[in-house]
Structure formats: C-alpha cells, structure tokens
C-alpha cells in the first residue's frame, strides 16, 4: 500500500521540511520501510527453508513485526546517530574476512525514526499484550486523515525526545568507555605500586 499523496502533502505542510527538503514527518506502510541490515543473512525458499547463508549487507524490512501496519515516523538529523567515526566503530564488523556494515553506511542525510504504529489492542488475547509483537494481540487500523493528524499533533509536541534520548545514550556510552580506560590505568598503577613503595637506600 502507498501513502496517499494528498495526505503526505498535508503532513509536510504542517510539520515542515528538513534541511534536505524532505518531510519532518511521514507515514509509510511497513513492508515499504526498508533499512540496511548486514551480517550472516539467510535466504529462504517458498516453504521457509534456508537455501543459502551469505555474509552481506542489503535492504530489508526495517520492522519485520510491523510489515502489515501503517507507521508514523519523524526525521532525525545526522548528529542523532553520532559521528562517522563512532558509527564506523560501533556498527562495522569483520565476518569471514569481509568488512560488514551491520547498519549500512553512516546516515549523512539523517534518517527516519519510528514514532507510532497504527494498531489497536485486542483485549484478553495475550498476557503479554503490553509488549507483545506476535501480531495476534493487535488489530490493523486503516490510515485516515483523522488518525494521521492526531499522531502528527502529538509527535510535534515531543519531536525532540528521540534525539535527546539518543544523545543521552551516546553520552552515557562515552562516559562508560572513559571510565573503563581510567579503571585500566588505575589497575596498572596498582600493579606497579609495590615497586614505588619499596624503600631505597642511597649510599654516597
């Protein structure tokens, strides 16, 4: 399914555009939302059997559990994903002698982040309903102008929260790494401490 052009244009007129001329907010159907996935990936036949496994990086559904749902997303700037150096350090791995970008290239133009999934809970279907993603505890909701405008209003009021959360997580991770370096240096100092504390006799 495709997002009605008139509806996306209305979202863009209200929500504005990013520095690249793209909408700050958008609605997209789950199976159309692709993202880079890298690693040892499997290919299946029509019966669901694995026919091959290959080390590669390719576009696949960003949210496999929501391929049959309408998704509301907001744009995040490149800095929300850290620096290119940190992206390289955190997302690139070597597998079977190959360099693999597990999340694809650094998003120099930013990227879209999931704000809300259009679905409604089915009461009494699952004890884990609050966090269930089995697809059986929530029902599909068709995209309407009323639903889209309501989500847009809420998203615009909290649009900086995803960026703030990412920045906080990155700051916390950097602080952990800094503390780990300091701990290693202190441990090395403690190992050498007896040598410094040994009394020395100087004979003229």
Residue 27 in contact with residue 7, Cβ under 8 Å? yes
Q: Whole-number mean pLDDT of the chain?
A: 81
24 confidence band (pLDDT: 50, 70, 90): very high
3-state SS class at 169 = helix
Residue 36 in contact with residue 91, Cβ under 8 Å? no
pLDDT digits (tens, 9 = 90+) for 32-74: 999 999 999 999 888 889 999 999 999 999 999 899 999 999 9
Rounded CA-CA distance 19/56 in Å is: 32
Rounded CA-CA distance 33/30 in Å is: 5
Across the chain, the runs of DSSP E, i.e. the strands, are 25-29, 34-44, 50-61, 70-76, 92-95, 98-101, 111-121, 138-140
Residue 181 confidence (pLDDT) above 60: no
Residue 130 confidence (pLDDT) above 60: no
Residue 145 confidence (pLDDT) above 90: yes
| Structure confidence at residue 157 (pLDDT) | 81
Rounded CA-CA distance 24/74 in Å is: 6
| Structure confidence at residue 200 (pLDDT) | 44
Out of 19-33, 38-52, 158-172, which region has the weakest mean confidence (pLDDT)?
Answer: 158-172
The arithmetic mean of pLDDT across residues 142-157, rounded, is 91
The arithmetic mean of pLDDT across residues 20-31, rounded, is 96
| Structure confidence at residue 51 (pLDDT) | 93
Residue 113 in contact with residue 76, Cβ under 8 Å? yes
| Structure confidence at residue 202 (pLDDT) | 44
The arithmetic mean of pLDDT across residues 165-176, rounded, is 58
Residue 4 confidence (pLDDT) above 90: yes
Structure tokens at 165: 């959360």
Residue 18 confidence (pLDDT) above 90: yes
120 confidence band (pLDDT: 50, 70, 90): confident
Rounded CA-CA distance 55/40 in Å is: 4
The arithmetic mean of pLDDT across residues 6-11, rounded, is 95
């Amino acid at each position: 399914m495709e997002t009605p052009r008139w509806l996306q244009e209305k979202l863009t007129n209200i929500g504005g555009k990013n520095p690249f001329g793209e909408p700050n907010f958008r609605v997209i159907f789950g199976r159309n939302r692709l993202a880079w996935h890298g690693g040892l990936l499997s290919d299946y036949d029509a019966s669901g059997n694995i026919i091959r496994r290959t080390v590669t990086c390719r576009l696949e559904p960003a949210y496999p559990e929501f391929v049959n749902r309408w998704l509301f997303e907001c744009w995040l700037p490149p800095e929300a994903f850290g620096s290119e150096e940190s992206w390289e350090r955190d997302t690139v791995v070597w597998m079977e002698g190959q360099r693999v970008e597990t999340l694809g290239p650094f998003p120099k133009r930013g990227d879209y982040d999931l704000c809300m999934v259009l679905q409604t809970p089915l009461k009494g279907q699952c004890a884990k309903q609050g966090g269930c993603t089995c697809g059986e505890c929530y029902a599909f909701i068709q995209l309407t102008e009323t639903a889209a405008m309501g989500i847009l209003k809420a998203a615009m009021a909290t649009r900086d929260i995803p960026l703030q959360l990412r920045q906080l997580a990155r700051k916390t991770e950097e602080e952990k790494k800094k503390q780990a370096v300091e701990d290693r240096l202190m441990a090395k100092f403690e190992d050498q401490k007896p040598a410094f504390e040994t009394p020395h006799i100087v004979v003229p």
